[in-house]
Amino acid sequence: MDHFRVGPLEVSRVEETRTQFDAAEFYPQLPRGVADHYRAWLEPYFDIEGHRFPCVFQSFVVRHGKTTILIDTCFGNDKERPDFLLGHRLQNPYLERLRAAGCAPEDVDIVLCTHFHVDHVGWNTRLENGRWVPTFPNARYILSSEEYRRFAPEHRTTEPPPFLDIFEDSVLPIIQAGQAEFVSGEHAVHELLTIVPTPGHTPGHISIRAGRGAETGVFLGDVIHNPVQMALPDLNSAYCEDGPTARATRRALLEAAVEGNHLLIPGHFAAPHIGRVRPAGNGFVFRGGL
């Protein structure tokens, strides 16, 4: 589903790339065969026999009136990522796809990054004459203060923080250009968009609540990578930095989604990419679509 609405908000999905992950590596605590219990609804999102699953890397363009917001910016081109080859020295037509969705880089008013991982901040910048410059020249980049605190030079010790290269080429140039704004806690960035802290995957991870009342959607970022984590809310990925907090955050978000009938907009689900959840035993069932 590439175009949909959340109340008065128009949303377009812009895909950069996709891959398949080995579930044994991505979810070390998921025994082979367990996913078969949820085959009836999970199968479109999970290769149960192969014990692997598709993963989509995508951004979301959100429009309301004259305001255009971009949520998460994928890998980016020309980035040196030798430790994560999926994002290494890419040459993807992401900006062309963004324009095809009716959004030129100059049109973006606000950029929101759910966290500072390689696949969520890359297109913050582009390479121009050997320098990293903001891809979206007219945008405010609204970022988590807690995420920044891990990388801020004044907080560094002799041991460099993780993912420092990502910060240096995809976040620091935004700060130097004067386009970065750091926020903490629940924070309204627009009359219909509110940042909500959802820590665990990373310490300062955020999600974005969109719309209001009965017409509410939630951009999840990486709280959940695959619907198998809805069936098994305690299941963390290998990349969740604070396991207990990630589990508590995930369950609370899913319980709130049931209570409010929220449309869930995850960062990495295969088609139809979005959907809603219902309780089922100790977990939840995901139903794709609006």
Stretches where the chain sits below pLDDT 70 are none
Domain of residue 107 covers: 3-288
What pLDDT, in 10s, does the model give residues 185-229? Answer: 999 999 999 999 999 999 999 999 999 998 999 999 999 999 999
Tokens of 236: 């963390």
pLDDT at 239: 95
Residue whose C-alpha is closest to residue 78's, from 18, 151, 165:
165
What is the CATH classification number for the domain harbouring 231? 3.60.15.10
At residue 153, the pLDDT reads 80
What's residue 158's pLDDT?
Answer: 72
User: What pLDDT is attached to residue 5?
Assistant: 97
Q: Which amino acid, one-letter code, is at 69? A: I
Contacts of residue 191, defined as CB under 8 A and 6 or more positions apart, other chains included, come to: 64
Could you give the CA distance from residue 170 to residue 150 in angstroms, rounded to a whole number? Answer: 15
Q: How many domains does the chain have?
A: 1
Q: Who contacts 160 (Cβ-Cβ below 8 Å, separation ≥6)?
A: none
**pLDDT of 243:** 98
Distances (CA, A) of 83 to 74, 79, 140, 222, 284: 16, 11, 30, 20, 34
Closest CA to 126 of 87, 178, 169, 92: 169
Distance between CA atoms of residues 68 and 90, nearest Å: 26
State the Cα–Cα distance between residues 274 and 277, nearest whole angstrom: 10
Pairing of strands 180-183, 9-22: unpaired
pLDDT at 162: 75
Supply the pLDDT for residue 155: 76
- Mapped onto helix, strand or coil, the DSSP state of residue 271 is coil
∠ CA 58-62-68, rounded to 5° = 115
